[in-house]
A and B are shown apart, each in its own frame.
Chain A
């Protein structure tokens, strides 16, 4: 899944082409019925609660703890994915080695594999009697039922984002700048820092935002491994479900709306970054 978006040079005609009415109609109907109507139901529920009560629920200690955990774990997962993603993109683009294509194909597994299956496998692997847990627990590292488990599940499900956004940029990057730097005697790390990194940075930022947004929303994989301890390993979307199960519709709606707002803000940031990244690429390429 690439995050490519509108090239600034896209040619649009002024309705010379047919089908505006039909396609616009289909788009708006689908969007309206499937996406907007349900979201409006949520917003109406939120409005019903009133700002004072809304604020009280959103800032209740347990809600805050859940939001904080979700954000922290998502940040941890994203840091891991940024490092792993750049490493993978670099290795896949710049080196030729046996099994490169296979490695390239493997990257997409987390998108294809249902998250519940991923959660099931990860929780069994990291459990005290699992393959990884048996190694880690004697060393005093516990993953299941801790924030590390939450972060691991989030990291798994968003692995491809950074790789897939950085990869094409690296492919387009003309190696002659690096060659030039190298001829001038620059250290390889300096070359990476001064030449390569600035070029991939906008794409990396986009990948990071996407990865972070996905981590915030992840549910299936996390609940298997998290242990769901209030104030410790309870993610925000699970708290929303728990509130529902306690017949607390207002609580659930407030948490859901808060997550929706965070997601929209991230979406806006991602769009701005994408626009900038494209402008940057337009300049260098």
Chain B
């Protein structure tokens, strides 16, 4: 491996041994901890051959899990985008008492275990929970059905878009928007013509991260899913289920779909970064 100094970064005098050692260590650790686990998933999934793999992927329960997972992501991501833009706008463009508190509250889900989110929802919507009796009387099913899964996923992913959009909105300031207003544009026009184009890459990036998290959510959803086969199992839960069905190849096959999605997310993100730069 040839080591080329980045312009201005390295003095030519320094020995080349240290950089090589450091690069070697970084690459080796990344191989061990990131690349090999991913490669391992594919190797296990295809261990029994292509046919077994496609059979596992096309089993009705796994297909339904893929469908459900996508459905949850399709519901959660747009809502999260709306919330993220609104929250970033209000925090970046206005000063009001409690602004810092609001920011902290928005970040709560990011730093607590999704399991706790699940438990919170159980205590709220469960039959014995705060709103349980009311829901029961009105025959509304939230837990162990799609609404519960969607709500918990919304909880877990709520800060993602906001976190990406806010720094950009703050950095750009509001001069352009003010100018547009002075020229007589309506609020909505300002948003569409000025604000949105400015934040679009950060927005897309946040949406991608939010989607990845929504698709991969396990702990919180496992508490509120009820694990009904072919009904309320999302893909991560299906992986767990297949693993305990002693169908390890099937479990890894289902895992490859998520791994592939993760790779797509990465590629999307890399493209986005080069556009932003």
Min C-beta distance of B29 to chain A, whole Å: 6
Please, how many angstroms separate the alpha-carbon atoms of A238 and B114 in the complex?
A: 11
Cβ B270 vs Cβ A14 within 8 A: no
Tell whether, in the assembled complex, residue B178 and residue A13 are in contact, meaning their CB atoms are under 8 Å apart.
yes
B53 at the interface (CB under 8 A from A): no
Chain A 246-282 interface 0/1 with B at a Cβ cutoff of 8 Å (1 = within): 0001001100100110011011101100000000000
Instruction: Please judge, given known A-B contacts A95-B23, A219-B218, whether A111 and B212 are in contact too, CB under 8 Å.
Output: yes
How many chain A residues touch B (CB < 8 A): the figure is: 101
Whether B26 sits at the interface, judged by CB under 8 Å, is yes
Q: Which residue of B lies closest to A11 (CB)?
A: B173
One of B11, B90, B171 near A20 (C-beta < 8 A):
B90
Contact B155 A7 (CB under 8 A): no
Instruction: Count how many chain B residues have C-beta atoms less than 8 Å from C-beta atoms of the other chain.
Output: 113
Contact: A106 with B41, CB < 8 Å? no
CB neighbours (8 Å) of B40 from chain A are 121, 124-125, 131
Contact assessment for B111 and A97 in the assembled complex, using a CB-CB cutoff below 8 Å: no
Q: Does A56 contact B (CB under 8 A)?
A: no
Query: Contact: B95 with A12, CB < 8 Å?
Result: yes
Are B121 and A38 in contact, CB atoms less than 8 angstroms apart? yes
Q: How many residue-residue contacts, CB under 8 A, span A and B? A: 312
Are A88 and B239 in contact, CB atoms less than 8 angstroms apart?
no
Cβ-defined contact, A95 with B82, below 8 A: no
A6 in contact (CB, < 8 A): yes
Taking A37-B124, A88-B26 as contacts, is the C-beta distance between A253 and B83 under 8 angstroms?
no
Q: Does B82 lie within 8 Å of A97, measured CB to CB?
A: no
* CB <8 Å contact, B108 and A35: yes
- The minimal Cβ–Cβ distance linking A13 to chain B, given in whole angstroms, is 6
Contact with A along B22-55 (1 / 0, CB 8 A): 1101110110011111101100100000000000
The reply to whether B119 and A256 contact each other, CB–CB distance below 8 Å, is yes
- A35-B103 Cα distance, complex, nearest whole Å: 13
List the one stretch of A58-66, A141-149, A210-218 in contact with chain B.
A210-218
Q: Report whether A267 and B108 are in contact in the complex, using a CB–CB cutoff of 8 Å.
A: yes
Q: How far is the CA of A57 from the CA of B242 in the complex (A)?
A: 35
Proximity bits, A133-172, B CB within 8 Å = 1, else 0 = 0000000000000000000000110010000000000000
B134 within 8 A of A: no
B218 contacts A125, C-beta separation under 8 Å:
no
A106–B205 Cα distance when bound, in Å, is: 16
Q: Tell me if B218 and A220 are in contact (CB < 8 A).
A: yes
In the complex, the answer to whether B262 meets A112 with C-beta atoms within 8 Å is yes
A5 in contact (CB, < 8 A): yes
Question: What's the Cα separation between A22 and B265 when bound, in Å?
Answer: 32
**Min C-beta distance of B215 to chain A, whole Å:** 7
Inter-chain contacts of B63 with A (CB < 8 A): none
In chain A between 164 and 183, which residues have their CB closer than 8 angstroms to a CB of chain B? Answer: 175, 179, 182
| CB within 8 Å for A95 and B218 given contacts A27-B86, A38-B124, A42-B120 | no
Residue in B109, B123, B124, B209 whose beta carbon sits within 8 Å of that of A1 in the complex: B209
B36 cross-chain contacts in A, Cβ below 8 A: 125, 131
Instruction: Out of A103, A179, A218, name the residue touching B26 (CB < 8 Å).
Output: A103
B86 and A26 contact, CB distance less than 8 A: yes
Q: Tell whether A114 pairs with B216 under 8 Å between CB atoms, given A42-B116, A91-B22, A218-B113.
A: yes
A-B contact pairs, 29 of them (CB 8 A): A4-B167, A5-B167, A7-B171, A18-B190, A19-B93, A19-B191, A24-B86, A26-B86, A31-B105, A34-B151, A38-B120, A38-B155, A42-B116, A44-B123, A84-B33, A95-B9, A95-B19, A96-B4, A97-B4, A105-B266, A111-B212, A112-B261, A114-B215, A116-B239, A117-B41, A120-B252, A179-B11, A217-B113, A237-B116
Top 6 nearest A-B pairs (CB, nearest first) are: A114-B216, A18-B187, A38-B120, A217-B113, A112-B262, A219-B219
Given contacts A93-B9, A237-B219, could you give 14 more A-B pairs where the C-beta distance is less than 8 Å? Answer: A10-B92, A14-B95, A20-B90, A27-B86, A27-B102, A38-B121, A42-B116, A98-B2, A117-B41, A179-B11, A219-B113, A219-B115, A267-B108, A267-B111
